[in-house]
Copies of this chain bind each other. A is one copy, B any other.
Amino acid sequence: SNMAAFVTLATNDSYARGAMVLGKSLRNHNTSRKLVALIGPQMSDPCQSALKKIYDDVRMVDVLDSGDAAHLAMMKRPDLGVTFTKLHCWTLTHYSKCVFMDADTLVLSNIDELFDREELSAAPDPGWPDCFNSGVFVFRPSMETYGKLLQYCTEHGSFDGGDQGVLNGFFGNWATADISKHLPFIYNLSSIAIYTYLPAFKHYTFDPKSKQIAGDVHEASTHPTFLLEWWTLYSSAVVPMLQDMYGDQPFHS
């Protein structure tokens, strides 16, 4: 197959709201690619329905119930629960190339040119720039890679307890092998950078054509501009849809 998709993950209703805003932001910037959401069994029906309005493809991932290799892996490493769910994106072999985005990210422009990159492309993490930030990455679904990832996970665990540690361990030559797999930092702008090196932030984001993704719009240090953008989308596009889905049921916006 030759299809390309943006993929996100939301195991519960709070991350679902993030995924809705992310999906809306991708649509608003006229992506020509498919939108896929991996969801967890705890998600409420109204949230599932709202996601289905925005995403082309909403898929339930239940690692606990799967009885497959992922289930076995998770029995050995119960600490890595959500990580195993995230790795499931490699099973989307219906698509040839994907861009994974955390549910708490937001696109600020059309970023379809990311599909020109190869697995595993990602932006540097400002906390340790020889690691990539796993909030946004380009990958190729493959059952073979999926199997190897699960095996790596069970054997080595995660040095930081999350998916970023696992993925940086597995794709361990990212820092040294191929510069084209280094996405520009603005593709996953951690808001921490705005505060630690403001002159660079101003210098490199000044170009209004520069492509940007706001990473982790909910972390404490997030820039007000990104937060405002998130809440604007949420209240104008997501809340009305949720009101629709919940109908008479109680619902907190």
Binary contact track A227-239/B, C-beta < 8 Å → 1, others 0:
0000000000000
Q: Which residues of B contact A240 (CB under 8 A)?
A: none
Q: Which residues of B contact A165 (CB under 8 A)?
A: 199, 203
Q: Which residues of B sit under 8 angstroms from A186, Cβ to Cβ? A: 130
Interface size on A, residues (CB 8 A): 32
Chain A, residues 141-178, CB within 8 Å of chain B (1/0): the string is 00000000000000000011100010000000001111
A124 and B127 within 8 A (CB): no
> Residues of B contacting A130 with CB < 8 Å?
124, 184-186, 204
Instruction: Tell me whether A128 and B184 are in contact in the complex, defined as CB-CB below 8 angstroms, given that A161-B199, A177-B179, A199-B161 are known contacts.
Output: no
CB < 8 Å: which of B175, B184, B201, B202 contacts A184? B175
Q: Is A193 in contact with chain B by the CB < 8 A criterion?
A: yes
Give the nearest-CB partner of A125 in chain B. Answer: B197
CB-based contact A200/B128 at 8 Å? yes
Q: Beta-carbon contacts of A181-223 to B below 8 Å, as 1s and 0s?
A: 0101110000011001101111110000000000000000000
Closest chain-B Cβ to A215's Cβ sits at a distance in Å of: 13
Q: Any chain B CB within 8 A of the CB of A101?
A: no
Chain B nearest CB, measured from A157 CB (Å): 11
Nearest CB to that of A203 among chain B residues? B159
Chain B nearest Cβ from A145, distance in angstroms: 22
Q: Which of A128, A178, A182 has the most CB of B within 10 A?
A: A128
- Residue pair A197, B128 in contact (C-beta under 8 Å): yes
Kindly list chain B residues whose C-beta atoms are within 8 Å of the C-beta of A203.
Answer: 159-160, 165
- The reply to whether A160 and B126 form a contact with Cβ atoms under 8 Å apart is no
A131 at the binding interface (Cβ < 8 Å): yes
In the bound complex, CA of A193 to CA of B178 (Å): 23
CB pair B126 A196 closer than 8 Å: yes
Q: Is the CB of B160 within 8 A of A200?
A: yes
Cβ contact within 8 Å between A196 and B127: yes
Q: Does A247 lie at the interface of the complex (its beta carbon under 8 Å from any beta carbon of B)?
A: no
A192 contact set on B, CB distance < 8 A: 196
Question: Can you show 7 pairs from A to B with CB atoms below 8 A apart?
Answer: A124-B129, A126-B128, A127-B196, A159-B202, A159-B203, A160-B200, A165-B199
Nearest 4 pairs of A and B residues by beta carbon: A127-B197, A124-B129, A128-B200, A129-B129
Query: Given A125-B129, A159-B199, 8 other A-B contacts at CB below 8 A?
Result: A124-B129, A124-B130, A125-B200, A127-B197, A129-B129, A130-B184, A161-B199, A165-B203
